[in-house]
Amino acid sequence: MRALYLAVDGGNSKTDVLLGTADGEVLGFVRGPTTSPHTIGLPGTLKVLVSLITAVREEAGLAAATPIDLAAVYLAGADLPIEVERLQAAITARGWSRATLVDNDCFALMRAGTSLPDAVAVVCGAGNNCVGRAADGRTARFVALGPISGDWGGGHDLAEHTLRLAARGEDGRGDATVLSAAVAGYFGRATVEDVSIGLHLGEIDLLRIRELTPLLFAAATEGDAVAAGLVRRQAEEILAQHRVAAGRLGLLDARHALVLGGGVLYARHAVLHDQVVAGARAQAPLVEISVLDAPPAVGAALLALDALGHSPAAEQRLRAAMRSASPTTAVPAVAIENAG
């Protein structure tokens, strides 16, 4: 009988779960909400995973008694060793598989982007994170607890700073910028001051601030100096993460992959992408840079296949299958309501 695996990629906004075989066949693929324990707590994480794993087994037509050999679970929020240990213990205790691998979702993204054993992955989506690995098994990572651990960047930070710069540019505390008119116009207000008051009074949902990131990149592309400065700060942060992670692993002068992922980097805004590529090559001349073009869940599946001892043909089959695969949406509403 073919070995079976579960592969989970749980990000801050969604979770993908695959059920597949060691020869690269995909039997089921479902998608649900976040499973980050930082957002919904460990009990909430487990409840959502129960629903999604049940759904993917049903989609695959897997009998209840059919055992699964390995679960490879990669989650946002698995940042500290103690968090990984707790997740590993809790998931193992559920008995979903004979063996369990648990780690941060950045490792899944990295594996989806490269087969090189020496690699660094930088994720710039809603937030920012980075991990690295060397062929000898060493890893490099950051505490990644947000501002309290020195983190900065990603779509949410960029959007908040866009609003701040627009306000300061309008009232004179900062340099004049086209962001002021752009932000006011986006919310249908005469001034950024009106936008700020609307946010304060609840007339505008605070979550809508997150919608401002495209305005930043549009202004930077048009040559606005204030917007360009903020984009440059993001590029410098991404390059610092790569430099430190690769440096800790002794890879700055060696051939290695740099995988770029997350919505901000996936968009390939030239004003950001070109700075990152040039800067990475300046600090690591042998680096091979790619922007992830596959779902990170592919990486979780490949890490499962690596552990099961797959053939190169199995990886090719999996990647080919996932290029045209669409997940079934499985939203475990009850799990979300009771999470936390």
pLDDT tens column, 297-314: 999 999 999 999 878 899
Assess if residue 51 is contained within a domain: yes
pLDDT bracket for residue 249 (50, 70, 90):
very high
pLDDT of residue 1: 67
Assess if residue 104 is contained within a domain: yes
Residue 339 has pLDDT above 50, yes or no: no
- pLDDT, average across residues 133-153: 93
Residue 126 has pLDDT above 60, yes or no: yes
pLDDT of residue 337: 46
- pLDDT, average across residues 30-39: 94
Q: What is the pTM of this model?
A: 0.89
- Which domain does 301 fall in, by range? 4-110+294-337
| 3-state SS assignment for residue 10 | strand
pLDDT of residue 146: 87
Residue 24, phi-psi category: left (phi > 0), alpha (psi -120 to 50), beta (remainder)? left
- Residue type for 41, please? G
Provide the mean pLDDT of the chain.
Answer: 94
pLDDT of residue 334: 45
- pLDDT, average across residues 33-51: 94
Assess if residue 318 is contained within a domain: yes
pLDDT bracket for residue 96 (50, 70, 90):
very high
β-strand pairing of 26-32 with 328-329: parallel
- pLDDT, average across residues 234-244: 98
Query: Position of tokens 């060696």?
Result: 254
Query: DSSP assignment, residue 215?
Result: H
Assess if residue 197 is contained within a domain: no
- Residue type for 161, please? H
pLDDT bracket for residue 184 (50, 70, 90):
very high
pLDDT of residue 332: 61
pLDDT bracket for residue 65 (50, 70, 90):
confident
- pLDDT, average across residues 109-128: 94
**Own/partner long-range contacts of 244-247 (Cβ < 8 Å, ≥24 apart):** 244/130, 244/140, 244/142, 245/120, 245/130, 245/131, 245/132, 245/140, 245/141, 245/142, 246/120, 246/132, 246/140, 246/283, 246/284, 246/287
- pLDDT, average across residues 150-178: 97
pLDDT bracket for residue 81 (50, 70, 90):
very high
- pLDDT, average across residues 170-177: 98
Assess if residue 83 is contained within a domain: yes
CATH code at position 46: 3.30.420.40
Assess if residue 167 is contained within a domain: no
Assess if residue 203 is contained within a domain: no
DSSP secondary structure, 233-270, as one string: HHHHHHHHHHHHHHHHTT-TTS-EEEEEESHHHHTT-H
β-strand pairing of 128-133 with 139-141: antiparallel
Residue 231 in contact with residue 271, Cβ under 8 Å? yes
pLDDT of residue 49: 96
Residue 199 has pLDDT above 60, yes or no: yes
Sheet holding 15-21, edge to edge: 99-104, 70-75, 4-10, 15-21, 26-32, 328-329
Number of domains in the chain: 1
Assess if residue 76 is contained within a domain: yes
